[in-house]
Amino acid sequence: MLAKSVTSIKEISQALQLDYRTVQNDIKWIREQANPWLYGLAGGGYAHDSRMALEKLMSIERELEDMRQDARENNAGIRERIMLLVKLADVTIQRLSIEGNGPTLLGLRKILRG
């Protein structure tokens, strides 16, 4: 439904051919079930843990970038340079994955608050 920009209870009930009250009650139940989970993430330190992981990955990226620069300046072999690039790409992908999940969780929390 969200992918089709159907977000109001009226639109959802019409699209699913369900009674308005049924959809309203289902949404209420989903919100009640989801709120403890989202607050548990915040209370459990998800934001802090994510921030720490991001800082660690950014530190590793800087170190790998320095190593790549040293390898280039010292005419290191192509194999060593490729290995460094692959590791740098892996770390970057991990960082982007963490960064990408944060807004999703915050967006869910906003939607569920209604």
Same structural domain, 57 and 26: no
What is the C-alpha separation between 62 and 88, in angstroms, rounded? 9
The answer for residues whose C-beta is within 8 angstroms of residue 72's C-beta and 6 or more apart is: 81
Res 2: pLDDT? 46
Structural domains counted in the chain: 2
> Do 50 and 25 sit in the same domain of this protein?
no
- Its domain, for residue 58, covers 45-114
Q: Does one domain contain both 54 and 100?
A: yes
Q: Which helix (H) or strand (E) holds 99?
A: helix 78-113
Q: Looking at the whole model, is its pTM more than 0.85?
A: no
For each of the chain's 114 residues, which pLDDT tens digit applies? 444 555 688 888 888 888 889 888 888 888 777 767 666 655 556 666 777 888 888 888 889 888 988 888 888 888 888 888 899 898 888 888 877 766 566 556 656 665
Q: pLDDT value at position 39?
A: 63
The answer on 53 and 16 residing in a single domain is no
